[in-house]
Amino acid sequence: MKQKNIINHILLTIVLTWELNFIIRIIFKSKKWGFSFWDILHITISLHFPF
């Protein structure tokens, strides 16, 4: 159960970061701003498993 909870939390973080990223891109109307999918994945993993 705990494992599933962690996975759900990670997925939620990815979705929220993706949404934020989308808003940033709309505001700045540029691909230079915002994160790529891999950046978001890396940030999410870093937040959950700080090495």
Q: What gap in Å lies between CA 46 and CA 30, rounded to an integer?
A: 26
Q: Are 23 and 15 in contact (CB under 8 A)?
A: no
Rounded CA-CA distance 25/2 in Å is 35
Residue 41: per-residue pLDDT: 74
pLDDT of 34: 58
Provide the pLDDT confidence category of residue 15 given band limits of 50, 70 and 90.
confident
Whole-structure pTM value: 0.48
Give residue 33's pLDDT band: very low, low, confident or very high (50, 70, 90).
Answer: low
Residue 31 contacts by C-beta under 8 Å, 6 or more apart in sequence? 25
Give residue 28's pLDDT. Answer: 73
Distance from CA of residue 18 to its chain's centroid? Answer: 5
Local confidence band at 31 (pLDDT 50, 70, 90 cut-offs):
low
